[in-house]
Amino acid sequence: MSSNTATPPAFGEANFSNCEREQVHLAGSIQPHGALLVVDEPDLTVIQASANAADMLQLDRFPLGLRLADISEQLELRVRMHLDGRLDRLPVAFRCSVGPRLCAFDGLLHRPPSGGLIVELEPAQPHRALVQGIGGSLKQLMAAPALQDLCDEAARMLKALVGYDRVMVYRFDEDGHGQVFSEQREPSLEPYLGNRYPASDIPRIARDLYKRNRVRLLVDVGYEPVPLEPRLSPLTGQELDMSLCALRSMSPIHTQYLKNMGVAATLVVSLMAGDRLWGLIACHHYRPRFVSYQVRALCELLGEAVATRIAALEGFVQVQAELLVRRLEQRMIEAISRDGDWKGALFDSPASLLNPMKATGAALLYDGELTTTGEVPATGDLRTIARWLDAQPREPVIACSSLGEALPELAPLCGIASGVMAVPLSVRAGEYLLWLRPEQVRTLTWGGNPFKSVVVGSDPGDLSPRSSFAKWHQLVEGTSEHWSASDRTMAQLIGESVADVIQQFRAVRVLIAQHQLERIQDQVCGSTQPTAVFGRDGATLMLNDALARLLPPASAPPATLDALAQLMEPRTEAAWRLEQLRTQRRSWRGEIGLRSDDAECVPLLVRADPVLSTPSEVLGYVVLLTDVRQRQRAERARQRFQSGVLEPQKAMAVPLESREDLLYRNLFASLVQNAQLAALEIADGVDLERVPDMLDGVQASVSRTAELLEHLIWYERRSGTRRH
C-alpha cells in the first residue's frame, strides 16, 4: 500500500492503494445498535448527534439544541456525576432510563481532545454474574509456564466468556506480519491455527487505535452507517475525533475484508505487552452478535492480564539468558588464568555457544585470527562475510536471514550459511563473533495469497481486499529461520561479555608484551570500554578515549591511580580501594561515581585488578569501568513501579456494599499480583534500555485496570443489577 505524503484520505474515501493512511478515527458515523450525542459544557446542550438518536431514544424531535435534562433527568444526573473525573483515557460507564417508556440504556462517557463530551448509549442487557469465574480463570493464566500455554488458556477463556464461533490469539512478528498463535473454534469451522496474514491487513493508523481503544466491537458487518449531524464538530469546525468511541463505524475496506472472509461480527481485544502492541485476541462470529459493556470490560481486564503475563514470560527468558552468559564469561576468565587465553573456553564446548542461538556454526574473527566451531564456510568466505558486515550500519547486533540475497556470490553456501548474526567486538574492522544458520526450506501457510492482497475490478481504480482466504502455501528457500528478538538480545549480551574479556586480556598484554605495545595500545584505545592501565608504581600508562570522554572537560587526565581516585565519589572509598589494590594486590569490584562535569556524577561499575607475572611480581594494574546509567534508570523505574502500584490499590479502597464488590476487589488484588511478578521478571532482564518503558507499560496497565474496575463497580451499583 502507498505511503506517500499526499493528503490522507478521509474516512470512507480510501481505496486499497492508500488505506494505510485512512483517517479511521474520524469516521463521522456510528454503528446503528446505539446512539451518540456530543454535548457542550457546562449546560450539557446537544451540539451533534447521530441521525438515529430520536428513534433510538424515543424522542419527539431530533435532539440538537436540547439539554441532557430535556432528554432524561437521570441521564443528566449520571453525566454530571463524572464531570470532575478523568475522561480522556477510558470512557466511564453508567446505566440510566431514557424516553417515555423509561427504557434502560448503558451509557459511555468520555471527553475527546477537541473538548465537549461524547455520550454513547446502547440498549441495556441483563446483568451476568461473571466475576467469580473470571477470578478462577485468572489464576490459571498466572500459572501458565510458557507462552503457548498462556495463549491457549486465553483463547479458551475468551471463547467461554463471549461465545463467539472462533477466538484466535494473533501475534505480530518483527516485520508486522501476524500469525494465528492459538485458536479455539467450533468443530465445523476450518482451522486457522498457524495461518499468517500480511502486515498490510492492519494499517498503521488502525494499530495505533488498538493501543488506545483496547476493545473494538463490530455487531453486524452488513450494517448501514449512521451519520453524525452535523458532520463537522461545531466546537472546532473539524471532524470529531472518535478514537475512544465504542460505536464508531469501521473502515469500509475493513468491513469488506470481513465480508470476504464470511465473518458477520467481531470482537477484538488488544494485547499491550509493556510498551508495544504484541498482538490481538480476535473473536469472529458468523452471525451478527452484540456484546454488552459489562462483558467487554471483563474482556479488557483479561487482555491486560494476558499481556502483563506475556511481558513476564519474555522477561524470564532474558533472565535465563543472562545466567547462561555469566557462566560463559566466568569460564573465559578462568581460562585466561589457567591457559593464558580465553578462546578455548568459548570454543571447547560448542554446545554452550551454538545451542542458545539454535545455530549450527559460529566463528570468531579477532586479531587477524579465525576460530570456528560447527559447520562453517571456508576461511575466504568467512572473511567476505566480515567485509560485508563492515559495510553495514554500525549496530550492537547485525542479523540477516538470507545471506545469499545480500551477497549473491555466497548464495551457493545456503546449506550452511543462509542466516548470519554478528556482534562487533571492537571498533576495528573485521572483528566479530558471528553465528550461522543453514537454509530452512519450509512452507509458510498464509490466509490467502499475501502477494495479491487486492482485487482489481473492471475499473483500474476499483480496488478491494482479496476475496479468497483459502490457505495459500509459500515455499521459502534460501532463507534461514528468522533471528528473533530474544536471539538478538542473547547475542548482544554474549558479544558484550566477550568484548569485555577481550579488553581485559588486551590490557594485560599491554603490560606483559612490551614489544607489541604500540599495536596493543591502539587496540585498547579504540575500545568503547572505558579503560585505564597503570604501571607498577601507579603511574598512568594509558587512558583510552572512552574513559577520557567521561572526565570533566576542563580537567587534566589523571597521571596516577591516586589522581583517578580524586575524580571519584565518594573519594575516601575510592582512595582506600585503589590503595588496597596497590599495596595488598586486592581486586576491586564495586560501584562508584566519576565526576564528569559540575552538574553530573556518572555512576560506574569498577573492575580493578593487579597484573602479575609471577605470584610475587606485579607488572601493573588494569581498571575497567562500565557506565551504569541505564541500569540506574531501570532501577528508578522499578522503584517508581513499586510505589506507583500502590496508588491504584488505594484508589480501590471504597466501602464494600455487596459480595460482588469483594469479588471485584479480590480480582484486582490478583491482577496486581500478576503485574508485580511481571515487574520482577522485567527488572531482572538483560535489555536494560527497554526496562523503564516496559515497567511504565505494566504500571499503566495496573492503573488502567484499577480505573476499569472502579467503573464496573460504580456502574453495577447504580444499574439496579447488584445482588446484595
Cβ(356)–Cβ(323) below 8 Å: no
Residue 677 in this model has a pLDDT that exceeds 90 = no
Q: In what order do the strands lie in the sheet with 588-595?
A: 540-543, 531-535, 617-627, 601-614, 588-595, 568-569
- For the ranges 31-35, 445-449, 568-572, 625-629, the lowest mean pLDDT is seen at 445-449
**In one letter, which amino acid is 381?**
D
Question: How many Å apart are CA 568 and CA 595, to the nearest integer?
Answer: 6
3-state DSSP call for residue 147?
Answer: helix
Residue 635, Cα to own-chain centre: how many angstroms?
19
**Confidence (pLDDT) at 356:** 79
Q: Which of 396-400, 440-444, 525-529, 703-707 has the lowest mean pLDDT?
A: 440-444
Residue 715's pLDDT is 76
pLDDT at 335 over 70: no
pLDDT over 70 at 238, yes or no: yes
Q: How many CB atoms lie within 10 A of CB 528?
A: 16
Phi and psi at residue 241, to the nearest 5°: -75, 110
Band of pLDDT at residue 240, cut at 50, 70 and 90: very high
Mean pLDDT of 509-517: 49
For residue 702, pLDDT over 90 is answered with no
5 versus 698: the higher-pLDDT residue is: 698
Domains 29-123 and 319-439+486-499 share a fold: yes
Q: What single letter denotes the amino acid at residue 441? A: V
Of 461 and 492, more confident: 492
Beta-carbon neighbour count of residue 480 at 10 Å? Answer: 25
Q: Would you state the pLDDT for residue 2?
A: 41
Model-level pTM greater than 0.85?
A: no
In angstroms, the first-to-last Cα distance of the chain is 55
What is the per-residue pLDDT across 72-86, written as a single tens digit (0 to 9) for each?
999 999 999 888 888
CB hemisphere CA count around 300 (13 angstroms): 29
pLDDT, residue 685, reads 56
Distance CA 30, CA 27 (A): 8
User: How much is the average pLDDT of 294-301?
Assistant: 90
- Please state whether beta strands 103-110 and 454-456 pair in parallel, antiparallel, or not at all (unpaired): unpaired
- Residue that wins the pLDDT comparison between 230 and 143: 230
Closest alpha carbon to 196 in 577, 520, 469, 509: 469
Residue 334 confidence (pLDDT):
67
CATH placement of domain 319-439+486-499: 3.30.450.270
Among 28, 63, 30, 57, which residue's Cα sits nearest to residue 45? Answer: 63
The residue with greater pLDDT, 711 or 259, is 259
Confidence of residue 657 (pLDDT cuts 50, 70, 90): low
pLDDT in tens, 32-55: 999 999 999 889 999 999 999 999
Mean pLDDT value of segment 190-218? 85
Compute the average pLDDT of residues 273-284. 88
Residue range 304-309: mean pLDDT, rounded: 88
Name which CATH class applies to 506-627: alpha beta
Distance, in Å, from the CA atom of 277 to the CA atom of 326, rounded to the nearest integer, reads 31
CATH class of the domain defined by 29-123:
alpha beta
In degrees and rounded to multiples of 5, residue 268 shows phi and psi of -125, 130
Asked whether the predicted pLDDT for residue 383 surpasses 80, the reply is yes
> Is residue 21's pLDDT more than 70?
no
Domain boundaries, the chain: 29-123, 319-439+486-499, 443-474, 506-627, 632-717
Sole residue written with cell 541500569: 631
| Residue 558 scores a pLDDT above 80 | yes
Q: Looking at per-residue confidence, does 547 or 685 come out higher?
A: 547
Residue 462: pLDDT band by 50, 70, 90 thresholds?
Answer: very low
Residue of higher predicted confidence among 323 and 493: 493
Q: What percent of the chain has pLDDT over 70?
A: 74
Comparison of pLDDT for 137 and 443, the residue scoring more: 137
Top-confidence range, 144-153, 435-444, 658-667: 144-153
Confidence of residue 546 (pLDDT cuts 50, 70, 90): confident
Which strands, in side-by-side order, build the sheet including 215-218?
Answer: 215-218, 265-273, 276-285, 166-172, 178-185, 196-197, 442-447, 471-476
- The size of the chain, in residues, is 724
Q: What is the pLDDT of residue 517?
A: 44
Which band of pLDDT confidence, cut at 50, 70 and 90, is reported for residue 217? very high
- Beta bridge mates, 533: 542, 622
Q: What is the pLDDT of residue 470?
A: 46
pLDDT tier at 229 (50, 70, 90 boundaries)? very high
Average pLDDT over the chain reads: 79
* pLDDT (0 to 100) of residue 502: 72
pLDDT at 248: 95
Least confident span in 376-390, 432-446, 677-691: 677-691
Sign for the pseudo-dihedral over CA of 47, 294, 187, 138: positive
Tell me the three cell numbers of residue 690.
527497554
Which residues have a Cβ under 8 Å from the Cβ of 445 and sit 6 or more positions away? 194, 195, 196, 471, 472, 473, 474
Contact indicator for 353, 362 with CB cutoff of 8 Å: yes
Q: Which residue has the higher pLDDT, 506 or 69?
A: 69
What is the pLDDT at residue 511?
Answer: 56
Name which of 179-183, 288-292, 354-358, 468-472 the model is least confident about.
468-472
Q: Is pLDDT above 90 for 323?
A: no
Helix (H) or strand (E) holding 306: helix 293-339
Question: What pLDDT shows up at residue 38?
Answer: 96
Crossing angle of helices 147-162 and 293-339, rounded to 10°? 180
Specify the amino acid at residue 135.
G
> Are residues 217 and 125 in contact, defined by beta-carbon separation less than 8 angstroms?
no
Q: What is the pLDDT of residue 19?
A: 47
Within 513-570, residue ranges assigned H as helices are 517-525, 545-548, 561-566
Set of cell numbers at residue 170? 494473533
pLDDT given for residue 337 in this prediction: 57
Q: What was the pLDDT predicted at 46?
A: 95
Q: Which of 148, 218, 212, 210 is nearest to 179 (CA)?
A: 148
User: In the predicted model, is pLDDT for residue 721 greater than 80?
Assistant: no
